[in-house]
A and B are shown apart, each in its own frame.
Chain A
Amino acid sequence: MSQALDHFIEQYPASRPFINWGVTAGSVFLCLLILPARLPGMELAGISPNWLLIWVVAWSVKRTLWQGAIAGLVLGLLQDAMTAPFPTHAISLAIVGAITARLQKQRYVQEDFISVALIVFGMAVVAETITAIQFSFEGGRSLLEIWTYHQFVALSSAILSSLWAPVVYFPLNRWWESMGQSDSI
Protein backbone atom coordinates (compact mmCIF):
# COMPACT_ATOMS: atom_id res chain seq x y z
CA MET A 1 0.00 0.00 0.00
CA SER A 2 2.68 2.46 1.07
CA GLN A 3 4.90 1.41 -1.81
CA ALA A 4 2.08 2.02 -4.27
CA LEU A 5 1.54 5.42 -2.70
CA ASP A 6 5.25 6.26 -2.85
CA HIS A 7 5.26 5.23 -6.49
CA PHE A 8 2.25 7.42 -7.21
CA ILE A 9 3.84 10.42 -5.46
CA GLU A 10 7.09 9.91 -7.40
CA GLN A 11 5.16 9.90 -10.63
CA TYR A 12 3.08 12.96 -9.80
CA PRO A 13 5.08 15.16 -7.40
CA ALA A 14 2.43 17.89 -7.65
CA SER A 15 -0.08 15.67 -5.87
CA ARG A 16 2.14 15.38 -2.79
CA PRO A 17 0.80 18.31 -0.71
CA PHE A 18 -2.77 17.38 -1.59
CA ILE A 19 -2.31 13.79 -0.41
CA ASN A 20 -0.56 15.02 2.72
CA TRP A 21 -3.37 17.43 3.57
CA GLY A 22 -6.00 14.89 2.64
CA VAL A 23 -4.57 12.36 5.09
CA THR A 24 -4.19 15.01 7.81
CA ALA A 25 -7.78 16.20 7.39
CA GLY A 26 -8.96 12.58 7.21
CA SER A 27 -7.30 11.79 10.53
CA VAL A 28 -9.07 14.75 12.16
CA PHE A 29 -12.37 13.53 10.73
CA LEU A 30 -11.73 10.05 12.16
CA CYS A 31 -11.05 11.58 15.58
CA LEU A 32 -14.32 13.54 15.33
CA LEU A 33 -16.24 10.40 14.38
CA ILE A 34 -14.94 8.45 17.35
CA LEU A 35 -15.79 11.24 19.85
CA PRO A 36 -19.46 10.32 20.51
CA ALA A 37 -18.71 6.58 20.58
CA ARG A 38 -18.14 4.76 23.85
CA LEU A 39 -16.37 1.58 22.81
CA PRO A 40 -15.64 -1.08 25.40
CA GLY A 41 -12.23 -0.51 26.97
CA MET A 42 -12.22 3.15 26.03
CA GLU A 43 -14.49 4.25 28.84
CA LEU A 44 -13.91 5.06 32.49
CA ALA A 45 -17.06 6.03 34.41
CA GLY A 46 -18.68 7.38 31.26
CA ILE A 47 -15.60 9.34 30.23
CA SER A 48 -13.75 8.57 27.03
CA PRO A 49 -10.32 9.73 25.81
CA ASN A 50 -10.14 13.26 24.49
CA TRP A 51 -9.18 12.30 20.94
CA LEU A 52 -8.93 15.85 19.63
CA LEU A 53 -6.52 16.77 22.43
CA ILE A 54 -4.32 13.78 21.55
CA TRP A 55 -4.38 14.91 17.91
CA VAL A 56 -3.39 18.47 18.83
CA VAL A 57 -0.49 17.20 20.95
CA ALA A 58 0.66 14.83 18.17
CA TRP A 59 0.56 17.72 15.70
CA SER A 60 2.26 20.30 17.90
CA VAL A 61 5.12 18.19 19.25
CA LYS A 62 7.33 18.95 16.26
CA ARG A 63 5.87 22.24 15.10
CA THR A 64 6.07 25.92 15.94
CA LEU A 65 3.98 27.73 18.52
CA TRP A 66 1.67 29.33 15.98
CA GLN A 67 1.09 26.11 14.07
CA GLY A 68 0.16 24.40 17.33
CA ALA A 69 -2.14 27.20 18.42
CA ILE A 70 -3.95 27.38 15.07
CA ALA A 71 -4.44 23.60 14.97
CA GLY A 72 -5.85 23.80 18.50
CA LEU A 73 -8.18 26.61 17.45
CA VAL A 74 -9.51 24.67 14.45
CA LEU A 75 -10.04 21.45 16.39
CA GLY A 76 -11.60 23.37 19.26
CA LEU A 77 -14.15 24.89 16.89
CA LEU A 78 -14.86 21.39 15.59
CA GLN A 79 -15.45 20.12 19.14
CA ASP A 80 -17.81 23.05 19.71
CA ALA A 81 -19.77 21.79 16.72
CA MET A 82 -20.08 18.37 18.34
CA THR A 83 -21.26 19.62 21.74
CA ALA A 84 -22.26 23.20 22.48
CA PRO A 85 -20.54 26.43 21.37
CA PHE A 86 -20.35 28.09 24.81
CA PRO A 87 -17.93 27.94 26.52
CA THR A 88 -15.73 27.32 23.51
CA HIS A 89 -13.22 24.48 23.39
CA ALA A 90 -11.05 26.51 21.01
CA ILE A 91 -9.31 28.39 23.84
CA SER A 92 -8.25 25.29 25.79
CA LEU A 93 -7.04 23.37 22.73
CA ALA A 94 -5.20 26.40 21.30
CA ILE A 95 -3.36 26.86 24.61
CA VAL A 96 -2.57 23.13 24.68
CA GLY A 97 -1.17 23.33 21.13
CA ALA A 98 0.95 26.37 21.99
CA ILE A 99 2.35 24.88 25.21
CA THR A 100 3.16 21.56 23.52
CA ALA A 101 5.02 23.37 20.75
CA ARG A 102 7.03 25.34 23.33
CA LEU A 103 7.97 22.19 25.26
CA GLN A 104 9.68 20.69 22.26
CA LYS A 105 11.91 23.72 21.76
CA GLN A 106 13.34 23.52 25.25
CA ARG A 107 14.35 19.89 24.65
CA TYR A 108 12.93 18.77 27.93
CA VAL A 109 11.35 15.75 26.34
CA GLN A 110 12.71 13.11 24.05
CA GLU A 111 10.46 12.04 21.24
CA ASP A 112 9.05 8.62 22.08
CA PHE A 113 5.70 7.29 23.05
CA ILE A 114 6.24 7.51 26.82
CA SER A 115 7.03 11.21 26.69
CA VAL A 116 4.09 11.81 24.33
CA ALA A 117 1.84 9.99 26.79
CA LEU A 118 3.22 12.17 29.58
CA ILE A 119 2.63 15.36 27.61
CA VAL A 120 -0.94 14.24 26.85
CA PHE A 121 -1.49 13.52 30.57
CA GLY A 122 -0.40 17.02 31.54
CA MET A 123 -2.22 18.72 28.70
CA ALA A 124 -5.49 16.92 29.47
CA VAL A 125 -5.34 18.36 32.99
CA VAL A 126 -4.53 21.83 31.55
CA ALA A 127 -7.41 21.63 29.06
CA GLU A 128 -9.99 20.53 31.65
CA THR A 129 -8.80 23.24 34.04
CA ILE A 130 -9.24 25.93 31.37
CA THR A 131 -12.73 24.61 30.63
CA ALA A 132 -13.57 24.65 34.35
CA ILE A 133 -12.37 28.28 34.59
CA GLN A 134 -14.56 29.18 31.60
CA PHE A 135 -17.57 27.53 33.25
CA SER A 136 -16.83 29.41 36.49
CA PHE A 137 -16.93 32.74 34.68
CA GLU A 138 -19.99 31.85 32.67
CA GLY A 139 -22.17 31.15 35.68
CA GLY A 140 -25.20 28.92 35.65
CA ARG A 141 -23.43 26.10 37.44
CA SER A 142 -22.36 26.37 41.06
CA LEU A 143 -18.61 26.77 41.65
CA LEU A 144 -18.49 23.87 44.11
CA GLU A 145 -20.06 21.52 41.58
CA ILE A 146 -17.74 22.69 38.79
CA TRP A 147 -14.53 22.17 40.76
CA THR A 148 -15.58 18.88 42.34
CA TYR A 149 -16.44 17.59 38.90
CA HIS A 150 -13.23 19.04 37.52
CA GLN A 151 -11.10 16.84 39.80
CA PHE A 152 -12.90 13.74 38.61
CA VAL A 153 -12.96 14.64 34.94
CA ALA A 154 -9.37 15.90 34.75
CA LEU A 155 -7.96 12.74 36.26
CA SER A 156 -10.06 10.27 34.25
CA SER A 157 -9.55 12.15 31.02
CA ALA A 158 -5.80 12.44 31.62
CA ILE A 159 -5.38 8.73 32.37
CA LEU A 160 -7.47 7.54 29.43
CA SER A 161 -6.09 10.04 26.93
CA SER A 162 -2.48 9.29 27.80
CA LEU A 163 -3.11 5.54 27.50
CA TRP A 164 -4.65 5.92 24.06
CA ALA A 165 -2.27 8.62 22.84
CA PRO A 166 0.11 6.28 20.94
CA VAL A 167 -2.80 5.03 18.80
CA VAL A 168 -3.13 8.49 17.27
CA TYR A 169 0.46 9.63 17.60
CA PHE A 170 2.33 6.77 15.95
CA PRO A 171 0.57 6.52 12.59
CA LEU A 172 0.38 10.31 12.24
CA ASN A 173 4.01 10.79 13.20
CA ARG A 174 5.11 8.11 10.71
CA TRP A 175 3.05 9.73 7.99
CA TRP A 176 4.34 13.26 8.59
CA GLU A 177 7.91 11.96 8.78
CA SER A 178 7.50 10.17 5.48
CA MET A 179 6.06 13.28 3.90
CA GLY A 180 8.98 15.33 5.20
CA GLN A 181 8.66 18.12 7.71
CA SER A 182 9.85 20.77 5.28
CA ASP A 183 6.87 20.96 2.96
CA SER A 184 4.12 20.59 5.53
CA ILE A 185 3.39 23.69 7.54
Chain B
Amino acid sequence: MFALRRWWDRYGIQATLTSVAIGTALLIRQTHGGVVLETYQWLTRPFLSKPAPPAQSSNPEMLELQERLIELESKNQRLEELLGFAQSAKAKGITAPVIGRSADHWWQQVSLGRGAQDGVETGSVVRSPGGVVGRVTSVTARTSRVLLLSDPTSRVGVMISRSRAMGSMRGNLGNRAVIEFYEKNPDVRRGDVVTTSSLSGRFPSGLPVGRIESVDTAKSPAPEAVIELSAPISALEWAIVYPKLPGETESLPAPAPSDVPAFSPTPEESSTPSPTAP
Protein backbone atom coordinates (compact mmCIF):
# COMPACT_ATOMS: atom_id res chain seq x y z
CA MET B 1 0.00 0.00 0.00
CA PHE B 2 2.80 2.36 0.96
CA ALA B 3 4.75 1.42 -2.17
CA LEU B 4 1.68 2.14 -4.26
CA ARG B 5 1.27 5.51 -2.57
CA ARG B 6 4.89 6.37 -3.18
CA TRP B 7 4.57 5.31 -6.84
CA TRP B 8 1.49 7.50 -7.22
CA ASP B 9 3.22 10.48 -5.64
CA ARG B 10 6.06 10.12 -8.05
CA TYR B 11 4.39 9.12 -11.30
CA GLY B 12 0.72 9.93 -10.68
CA ILE B 13 0.55 13.06 -12.80
CA GLN B 14 2.53 11.49 -15.62
CA ALA B 15 0.37 8.38 -15.64
CA THR B 16 -2.84 10.42 -15.63
CA LEU B 17 -1.67 12.71 -18.43
CA THR B 18 -0.49 9.76 -20.51
CA SER B 19 -3.80 7.95 -20.14
CA VAL B 20 -5.71 11.14 -20.93
CA ALA B 21 -3.62 11.62 -24.09
CA ILE B 22 -4.06 8.00 -25.24
CA GLY B 23 -7.76 8.07 -24.36
CA THR B 24 -8.34 11.26 -26.36
CA ALA B 25 -6.43 9.84 -29.32
CA LEU B 26 -8.51 6.62 -29.22
CA LEU B 27 -11.72 8.66 -29.01
CA ILE B 28 -10.72 10.75 -32.03
CA ARG B 29 -9.78 7.55 -33.86
CA GLN B 30 -13.16 5.97 -33.11
CA THR B 31 -14.97 9.04 -34.48
CA HIS B 32 -12.79 9.00 -37.64
CA GLY B 33 -11.31 12.39 -36.79
CA GLY B 34 -14.69 14.09 -36.91
CA VAL B 35 -13.65 17.00 -34.68
CA VAL B 36 -10.51 17.70 -36.69
CA LEU B 37 -12.29 17.51 -40.04
CA GLU B 38 -15.12 19.75 -38.87
CA THR B 39 -12.63 22.36 -37.66
CA TYR B 40 -10.71 22.02 -40.90
CA GLN B 41 -13.87 22.53 -42.93
CA TRP B 42 -14.78 25.60 -40.85
CA LEU B 43 -11.30 27.09 -41.30
CA THR B 44 -11.09 26.47 -45.05
CA ARG B 45 -14.59 27.71 -45.85
CA PRO B 46 -13.52 31.33 -46.61
CA PHE B 47 -10.86 30.11 -49.07
CA LEU B 48 -13.14 27.96 -51.21
CA SER B 49 -13.65 29.04 -54.79
CA LYS B 50 -17.04 29.16 -56.44
CA PRO B 51 -17.93 26.08 -58.49
CA ALA B 52 -16.96 26.61 -62.09
CA PRO B 53 -20.00 26.93 -64.39
CA PRO B 54 -20.37 23.99 -66.78
CA ALA B 55 -18.29 24.75 -69.83
CA GLN B 56 -20.48 25.89 -72.71
CA SER B 57 -19.18 24.01 -75.68
CA SER B 58 -19.16 26.13 -78.79
CA ASN B 59 -17.96 23.26 -80.94
CA PRO B 60 -20.91 22.31 -83.19
CA GLU B 61 -19.65 18.73 -83.46
CA MET B 62 -19.72 18.43 -79.67
CA LEU B 63 -23.24 19.84 -79.53
CA GLU B 64 -24.40 17.32 -82.09
CA LEU B 65 -22.82 14.47 -80.14
CA GLN B 66 -24.48 15.67 -76.93
CA GLU B 67 -27.86 15.77 -78.63
CA ARG B 68 -27.37 12.28 -80.03
CA LEU B 69 -26.39 11.08 -76.57
CA ILE B 70 -29.56 12.50 -75.03
CA GLU B 71 -31.60 10.91 -77.81
CA LEU B 72 -29.95 7.51 -77.28
CA GLU B 73 -30.28 7.69 -73.50
CA SER B 74 -33.98 8.42 -73.68
CA LYS B 75 -34.49 5.66 -76.24
CA ASN B 76 -32.56 3.26 -74.01
CA GLN B 77 -34.69 4.20 -71.03
CA ARG B 78 -37.88 3.63 -73.05
CA LEU B 79 -36.64 0.16 -74.04
CA GLU B 80 -35.74 -0.65 -70.44
CA GLU B 81 -39.20 0.43 -69.37
CA LEU B 82 -40.70 -1.91 -71.98
CA LEU B 83 -38.56 -4.75 -70.68
CA GLY B 84 -39.66 -3.95 -67.16
CA PHE B 85 -36.45 -3.17 -65.40
CA ALA B 86 -36.46 0.57 -65.61
CA GLN B 87 -34.50 2.31 -62.87
CA SER B 88 -36.53 4.58 -60.65
CA ALA B 89 -36.09 8.32 -60.93
CA LYS B 90 -32.48 9.46 -61.08
CA ALA B 91 -31.02 10.71 -57.81
CA LYS B 92 -30.15 14.35 -57.58
CA GLY B 93 -26.45 14.94 -57.03
CA ILE B 94 -24.98 17.06 -54.25
CA THR B 95 -22.20 19.35 -55.45
CA ALA B 96 -19.36 19.28 -52.92
CA PRO B 97 -16.04 21.12 -52.79
CA VAL B 98 -12.85 19.11 -52.27
CA ILE B 99 -11.38 20.58 -49.09
CA GLY B 100 -8.47 18.26 -48.41
CA ARG B 101 -6.39 15.40 -49.72
CA SER B 102 -5.19 12.27 -47.96
CA ALA B 103 -3.57 12.74 -44.55
CA ASP B 104 -0.81 10.23 -45.26
CA HIS B 105 1.05 9.02 -48.31
CA TRP B 106 -0.37 5.54 -48.71
CA TRP B 107 -4.07 6.15 -49.00
CA GLN B 108 -5.65 7.90 -51.95
CA GLN B 109 -8.43 9.83 -50.30
CA VAL B 110 -10.04 13.25 -50.49
CA SER B 111 -12.23 15.11 -48.02
CA LEU B 112 -15.36 16.82 -49.26
CA GLY B 113 -17.00 19.85 -47.66
CA ARG B 114 -20.49 18.30 -47.52
CA GLY B 115 -21.65 15.76 -44.98
CA ALA B 116 -24.59 14.07 -43.33
CA GLN B 117 -26.42 17.40 -42.97
CA ASP B 118 -26.52 17.75 -46.74
CA GLY B 119 -27.63 14.16 -47.34
CA VAL B 120 -24.30 12.45 -48.00
CA GLU B 121 -24.21 8.85 -46.73
CA THR B 122 -21.51 6.21 -46.37
CA GLY B 123 -21.35 4.33 -49.65
CA SER B 124 -22.53 7.24 -51.79
CA VAL B 125 -20.98 7.31 -55.25
CA VAL B 126 -18.81 10.34 -56.04
CA ARG B 127 -18.46 11.56 -59.59
CA SER B 128 -16.88 14.52 -61.29
CA PRO B 129 -17.19 15.86 -64.79
CA GLY B 130 -15.40 13.08 -66.65
CA GLY B 131 -16.38 10.01 -64.71
CA VAL B 132 -16.51 8.15 -61.43
CA VAL B 133 -14.11 9.34 -58.74
CA GLY B 134 -14.74 7.07 -55.78
CA ARG B 135 -16.97 6.16 -52.91
CA VAL B 136 -17.74 7.84 -49.56
CA THR B 137 -16.22 5.85 -46.68
CA SER B 138 -17.05 7.99 -43.67
CA VAL B 139 -19.26 10.97 -42.99
CA THR B 140 -19.37 13.68 -40.33
CA ALA B 141 -21.97 16.43 -40.05
CA ARG B 142 -20.41 18.74 -42.63
CA THR B 143 -17.60 16.71 -44.22
CA SER B 144 -17.15 13.33 -45.84
CA ARG B 145 -14.15 11.21 -46.75
CA VAL B 146 -13.89 9.61 -50.18
CA LEU B 147 -11.79 6.58 -51.12
CA LEU B 148 -10.62 7.31 -54.66
CA LEU B 149 -10.69 4.80 -57.51
CA SER B 150 -6.92 5.19 -57.77
CA ASP B 151 -6.41 3.65 -54.32
CA PRO B 152 -5.07 0.07 -54.56
CA THR B 153 -7.69 -1.14 -52.08
CA SER B 154 -10.67 0.13 -54.04
CA ARG B 155 -11.91 -2.59 -56.37
CA VAL B 156 -14.64 -2.10 -58.91
CA GLY B 157 -16.29 -4.47 -61.37
CA VAL B 158 -15.85 -2.95 -64.81
CA MET B 159 -16.74 -3.73 -68.39
CA ILE B 160 -15.35 -2.79 -71.79
CA SER B 161 -18.34 -1.02 -73.31
CA ARG B 162 -17.50 -2.09 -76.91
CA SER B 163 -17.09 -5.83 -76.38
CA ARG B 164 -18.78 -6.27 -72.96
CA ALA B 165 -15.67 -8.04 -71.66
CA MET B 166 -15.75 -7.93 -67.87
CA GLY B 167 -13.03 -7.66 -65.28
CA SER B 168 -12.23 -6.24 -61.90
CA MET B 169 -10.33 -3.00 -61.58
CA ARG B 170 -7.99 -1.94 -58.82
CA GLY B 171 -6.34 1.43 -58.41
CA ASN B 172 -2.70 1.91 -59.22
CA LEU B 173 -1.94 5.39 -57.84
CA GLY B 174 -1.92 8.64 -59.73
CA ASN B 175 -4.35 8.61 -62.59
CA ARG B 176 -4.05 4.94 -63.50
CA ALA B 177 -5.81 1.71 -62.66
CA VAL B 178 -5.34 -1.92 -63.65
CA ILE B 179 -8.06 -4.28 -64.89
CA GLU B 180 -7.81 -8.04 -64.41
CA PHE B 181 -10.08 -9.75 -66.90
CA TYR B 182 -12.21 -12.75 -66.05
CA GLU B 183 -11.74 -14.40 -69.45
CA LYS B 184 -8.48 -15.74 -70.80
CA ASN B 185 -8.79 -13.97 -74.13
CA PRO B 186 -10.74 -10.75 -73.75
CA ASP B 187 -11.67 -8.65 -76.73
CA VAL B 188 -10.00 -5.40 -75.76
CA ARG B 189 -7.75 -2.88 -77.44
CA ARG B 190 -6.18 0.45 -76.80
CA GLY B 191 -8.64 3.34 -76.57
CA ASP B 192 -11.66 1.26 -75.52
CA VAL B 193 -14.05 2.96 -73.12
CA VAL B 194 -14.39 1.33 -69.69
CA THR B 195 -17.57 1.60 -67.61
CA THR B 196 -18.72 0.12 -64.32
CA SER B 197 -20.34 -3.27 -64.80
CA SER B 198 -23.59 -4.63 -63.47
CA LEU B 199 -21.62 -7.06 -61.29
CA SER B 200 -20.19 -4.16 -59.28
CA GLY B 201 -21.98 -4.10 -55.96
CA ARG B 202 -20.77 -0.68 -54.94
CA PHE B 203 -21.36 1.35 -58.06
CA PRO B 204 -24.39 1.55 -60.34
CA SER B 205 -23.65 0.04 -63.73
CA GLY B 206 -22.80 1.98 -66.85
CA LEU B 207 -20.87 4.89 -65.30
CA PRO B 208 -17.84 5.96 -67.36
CA VAL B 209 -14.51 5.16 -65.69
CA GLY B 210 -11.75 5.67 -68.24
CA ARG B 211 -10.00 4.47 -71.37
CA ILE B 212 -7.67 1.53 -72.01
CA GLU B 213 -4.09 2.70 -72.25
CA SER B 214 -2.23 -0.58 -72.74
CA VAL B 215 -3.08 -4.28 -72.76
CA ASP B 216 -0.96 -7.17 -71.49
CA THR B 217 -2.62 -10.42 -72.59
CA ALA B 218 0.37 -12.56 -71.63
CA LYS B 219 0.02 -11.66 -67.96
CA SER B 220 -0.57 -14.60 -65.64
CA PRO B 221 -2.93 -15.65 -64.07
CA ALA B 222 -5.29 -13.27 -65.83
CA PRO B 223 -4.76 -10.85 -68.70
CA GLU B 224 -4.40 -7.27 -67.52
CA ALA B 225 -4.91 -3.83 -68.99
CA VAL B 226 -3.87 -0.43 -67.71
CA ILE B 227 -6.53 2.23 -67.96
CA GLU B 228 -6.32 5.96 -67.68
CA LEU B 229 -9.09 7.27 -65.44
CA SER B 230 -11.14 9.90 -67.20
CA ALA B 231 -11.91 11.94 -64.08
CA PRO B 232 -9.13 14.41 -63.23
CA ILE B 233 -8.42 12.66 -59.93
CA SER B 234 -5.15 14.38 -59.05
CA ALA B 235 -6.54 17.86 -59.71
CA LEU B 236 -10.01 17.50 -58.31
CA GLU B 237 -11.68 20.68 -57.01
CA TRP B 238 -15.38 19.88 -57.09
CA ALA B 239 -17.22 16.59 -57.05
CA ILE B 240 -20.83 15.49 -57.21
CA VAL B 241 -22.11 13.02 -54.62
CA TYR B 242 -24.98 10.68 -55.54
CA PRO B 243 -26.57 9.06 -52.49
CA LYS B 244 -27.57 5.44 -53.02
CA LEU B 245 -31.02 4.91 -54.42
CA PRO B 246 -33.25 2.83 -52.12
CA GLY B 247 -33.87 0.14 -54.73
CA GLU B 248 -30.27 -0.08 -55.87
CA THR B 249 -29.00 -2.63 -53.39
CA GLU B 250 -31.88 -5.00 -54.14
CA SER B 251 -31.53 -4.78 -57.91
CA LEU B 252 -27.81 -5.54 -57.92
CA PRO B 253 -27.65 -9.21 -56.87
CA ALA B 254 -30.37 -10.00 -59.43
CA PRO B 255 -28.06 -10.93 -62.36
CA ALA B 256 -26.27 -13.62 -60.36
CA PRO B 257 -29.23 -16.05 -59.87
CA SER B 258 -30.25 -15.62 -63.53
CA ASP B 259 -26.80 -16.83 -64.55
CA VAL B 260 -27.11 -20.04 -62.55
CA PRO B 261 -29.64 -21.86 -64.80
CA ALA B 262 -27.48 -20.98 -67.79
CA PHE B 263 -24.62 -23.01 -66.35
CA SER B 264 -26.70 -25.79 -64.83
CA PRO B 265 -27.10 -27.83 -68.07
CA THR B 266 -23.33 -28.45 -68.13
CA PRO B 267 -23.20 -30.93 -65.23
CA GLU B 268 -26.13 -32.79 -66.78
CA GLU B 269 -24.35 -32.94 -70.09
CA SER B 270 -21.19 -34.19 -68.45
CA SER B 271 -23.18 -36.83 -66.57
CA THR B 272 -24.96 -38.12 -69.68
CA PRO B 273 -21.87 -39.56 -71.37
CA SER B 274 -20.96 -41.59 -68.28
CA PRO B 275 -23.88 -44.10 -68.63
CA THR B 276 -22.94 -44.60 -72.27
CA ALA B 277 -19.34 -45.38 -71.39
CA PRO B 278 -19.87 -48.87 -69.94
Contacts and interface: CB of A to CB of B under 8 A. Distances in A.
Contacts, number: 103
A80 B37 CA distance: 13
A141 B153 contact: yes
B104 interface: yes
Nearest to A89: B104
B111 A36 contact: yes
B55 interface: no
Interface in A62-96: 70, 73-75, 77-85, 89
A50 interface: yes
Contacts of A81: 25, 28-33, 36
A1 interface: no
Interface in A1-60: 17, 21, 29, 32-33, 35-38, 46-48, 50
A180 interface: no
B25 A74 contact: yes
Contacts of A82: 33, 36-37, 103-104
A140 B40 contact: no
A149 B13 CA distance: 43
Q: Pick the most buried of A84, A85, A149: most chain B CB atoms within 10 A of its CB.
A: A84
Contacts of B102: 36, 83
Contacts of B14: 185
A131 interface: yes
A78 B25 contact: yes
Contacts of A77: 22, 25-26, 28-29
Contacts of A84: 107, 109, 137
A80 B106 contact: no
B36 A29 contact: yes
Interface residues of A, number: 38
A46 B234 contact: yes
Nearest to A71: B21
A83 B103 contact: yes
A27 to B, nearest CB: 13
A185 B17 contact: yes
B17 A21 contact: yes
Nearest to A141: B152
Q: Pick the most buried of B29, B32, B111: most chain A CB atoms within 10 A of its CB.
A: B29
B201 interface: no
Given A74-B21, A185-B14, A36 B103 contact: yes
B25 A37 contact: no
A162 to B, nearest CB: 15
A80 B101 CA distance: 15
A32 B25 CA distance: 12
Contacts of A73: 22, 25
B107 A78 contact: no
B234 A153 contact: no
A50 B105 contact: yes
Contacts of B31: 81
Contacts of B18: 70, 185
Nearest to A73: B22
A135 B29 CA distance: 20
Contacts of A100: none
Given A33-B39, A145-B152, A79 B103 contact: yes
Q: Pick the most buried of A36, A50, A80: most chain B CB atoms within 10 A of its CB.
A: A36
A79 B14 CA distance: 23
Contacts of B33: 32, 78, 81-82
Nearest to B26: A77
A77 B120 CA distance: 26
B165 interface: no
Interface in B216-247: 234
A53 B229 CA distance: 32
Contacts of B28: 77-78, 81
A46 B29 contact: no
Interface of B: 13-14, 17-18, 21-22, 24-26, 28-33, 36-37, 39-40, 43-44, 99-107, 109, 111, 137, 152-153, 172-174, 234
5 closest residue pairs by CB, A with B: A36-B100, A82-B103, A81-B33, A77-B25, A35-B103
Interface of A: 17, 21, 29, 32-33, 35-38, 46-48, 50, 70, 73-75, 77-85, 89, 128, 131, 135, 140-141, 145, 149, 153, 156-157, 185
